[in-house]
A and B are shown apart, each in its own frame.
Chain A
Amino acid sequence: MTTVLRRLRSELFPTRGDGLLSIALLSLLALAGVGFLRWAFFQAQWLVIRANATLFAVGRYPAEQQWRLWLLVGLLAAATGLSWGVLRSHPRRDRTGRLWPRNDRVAVAVLVLAGLWGPWALGLPLHLQARWWGLLALLLLIRWLAGRHGRRLGPRGLRLVALIWPVLYLSGMVLISGGLGLVAVPPSEWGGLLLTLVEASFAILLCFPLGVLLALGRRSDLPLLRWGSVVYIEFIRGAPLITLLFLGQNILGFLLPGGLAPDRVWRAAWVLTFFAAAYLAEAVRAGLAAVPRGQFEAARSLGLSYPQALGKVVLPQAMRVALPAMVGQFISLLQDTTLLSLIGLMELLGTARTVMANPAFLGKNAEVYLTLAVLFWCCCAALGLGSRALERRLDPQTIPSAS
């Protein structure tokens, strides 16, 4: 305790002048904080959020089909718990693996607090609150079990666990949109956080391979490929996303024959994908440029084919360099989905705008925007945390050789 105090003192009050400045800043902060808390607890009327919680979560998704989304969330919780626990039970070599490192204990605390408080604060009916608590318990239980027994999985089992995610994504899409015996729920009925996440995840997943291909194309020896990639990348990067979105709504309908033309939601998702791919390509290109040419030559001289040399030697190294920039792209992509409200999609911001336009909730903009900001912040924080964990795992814990 005293060390903390001493450190605070040496950082805040090293000299008299600095001390005065610190006091001034601290009091400003305190003032702002108190003002904010007063507003949040006494003035703000959170009814606008409570009354529209479902709308913010899933839009106009039909109530009698919402069990499918609950099921999806349940599967997500289970898969998260499983991967998390298995990851911890297989520490990277040369690293002492603790089953519950401090970060994990903090994460559990945050999860428990948010999981208990959130549904209550939203004023959900008791059976829905209980459902969230059940999901939380499921996640933690599987995390605990997987952490305890994950060791027994061989490399085969590990690969299977990793395979859960693409399978889950595809089945999630089926659960959301219907098909395979489920009643179809057209995209026009999706909304809120659900639509935001569908659009963002679709674009993130597809822009990745596309961006890698574009980056490779830009470095290719074939002039046609190289110039094609350059023109594409520079064209996309030169246009504001919103114009592309409007363009996409109008053009994609003409370009593709009638039945194939995707509806508005998917059209927007494709535009987002093509847009993000151009930026991603530049991040990947920087990563590729950071891999010395000798790596490719060494791989080729060992007899690896071009795709093998790329996939096993060059790209893994390039990705490690490009990862931070790529995640930055993903985060701005997530935030760019708010532009979809301008072309009339009911994602989070679009939903928010209809709610605020409702005469019953007039003048409640601050509450709504704050909630939106927090939601986006949570999603971006999750992306950031995940990427940092990935970065640490990809690090061969060495300075790369000086070659």
Chain B
Amino acid sequence: MSQPSAETMIEARAVEKWYPNGFQALRGADLTVRRGEVVVIMGPSGSGKSTFIRTFNALEDFQKGSITVDGIALSNDLRNIDAIRREVGMVFQQFNLFPHLSVLENLTLAPVLVRRRPKADVERQARALLERVGIAEQADKFPGQLSGGQQQRVAIARALCMEPRILLFDEPTSALDPEMVREVLEVMQALANDDITMVVVTHEVKFARQVAHRVVLMSEGVVVEEAEPEVFFTNPSHQRTRKFLDQIL
């Protein structure tokens, strides 16, 4: 496991968010992620995990507190948001591949459009990435023709093709059949060995133990516990964490 540097990549301070219907999903959530670090977020359903990591790339706005990503303050300034989205990739529970584009086009769309890179270049890189996630031979198929596990690996490759410095995962294996979970986790584990920063919402304990540098527990819109995996799973300091672990272990 590569060691994270001291440099801060994501810094969230006392983030509070209300949804338009008035529901407060975040009640002062804090998190600091260092460069190259892999942080796993756990917590009961509805505790605000998705909401929290979606604020990191401005898919959700927030009303109080501050978030800084790679030195750029997240504000309402649209230029900042665009800059941050280029640095932050996201992998969704439901894959969200573009069904009207081939696998290869799914990967090349953003780099060509957003980074204005030459198409031939991007295609070469895209094929290499597909090779890396183990589905090189599917490049010309459409997403609907792939299995769930293959789709999620394409989604990871698609995010990587933008060469982000941070990758966010929102329950990447929850929509998969058990036998496909492993192939996706293996890809993620391989990624963690590079120096990319990863924030992963997941309930995969084994992954958290083997790959994460830190595991945090969210509950009711705040980060309750933050610890190294061994400590988190064997000797957590909060009652809440123990209760949560009792339920999932």
Whether B85 contacts A300 by the Cβ 8 Å rule is: yes
Of B89, B94, B115, the contact of A294 (CB 8 Å cutoff) = B94
Question: In this assembly, does A332 line the interface, its C-beta being within 8 Å of a C-beta of chain B?
Answer: no
Total A-B Cβ pairs within 8 A = 91
Known: A294-B96, A301-B89, A303-B82. A398 touches B113 (CB 8 A): no
- Comparing B35-43, B137-145, B220-228, B235-243, the segment that makes contact with chain A is B137-145
For A295, list chain B residues within 8 Å (CB). Answer: 96, 98
In the complex, A303 Cα to B98 Cα: how many Å?
15
In the complex, A397 Cα to B101 Cα: how many Å?
11
Whether B89 contacts A401 by the Cβ 8 Å rule is: no
Whether A316 contacts B92 by the Cβ 8 Å rule is: no
Nearest residue (CB) in A for B155 is A298
For A396, list chain B residues within 8 Å (CB). Answer: 99-102, 142, 144
Nearest residue (CB) in A for B58 is A300
For B146, list chain A residues within 8 Å (CB). Answer: 401
In the complex, A295 Cα to B90 Cα: how many Å?
12
Question: In this assembly, does B198 line the interface, its C-beta being within 8 Å of a C-beta of chain A?
Answer: no
- Comparing A132-140, A234-242, A305-313, A384-392, the segment that makes contact with chain B is A305-313
Whether B59 contacts A297 by the Cβ 8 Å rule is: yes
Of A303, A317, A401, the contact of B144 (CB 8 Å cutoff) = A401
Of A305, A308, A312, A403, the contact of B96 (CB 8 Å cutoff) = A403
Question: In this assembly, does B95 line the interface, its C-beta being within 8 Å of a C-beta of chain A?
Answer: yes
For A316, list chain B residues within 8 Å (CB). Answer: 100
Within 8 A of B (CB), among A293-329: 294-295, 297-305, 308, 312-313, 316-317, 320
In the complex, A69 Cα to B23 Cα: how many Å?
65
Question: In this assembly, does A127 line the interface, its C-beta being within 8 Å of a C-beta of chain B?
Answer: no
Can you list 30 contacts pairing A with B, beta carbon distance less than 8 Å? A292-B94, A292-B96, A297-B59, A297-B96, A298-B90, A298-B97, A300-B85, A301-B85, A302-B85, A302-B114, A302-B158, A302-B159, A303-B85, A303-B86, A303-B115, A303-B162, A304-B113, A304-B114, A305-B114, A308-B114, A313-B109, A396-B99, A398-B99, A399-B144, A400-B99, A400-B143, A401-B95, A401-B144, A403-B96, A403-B99
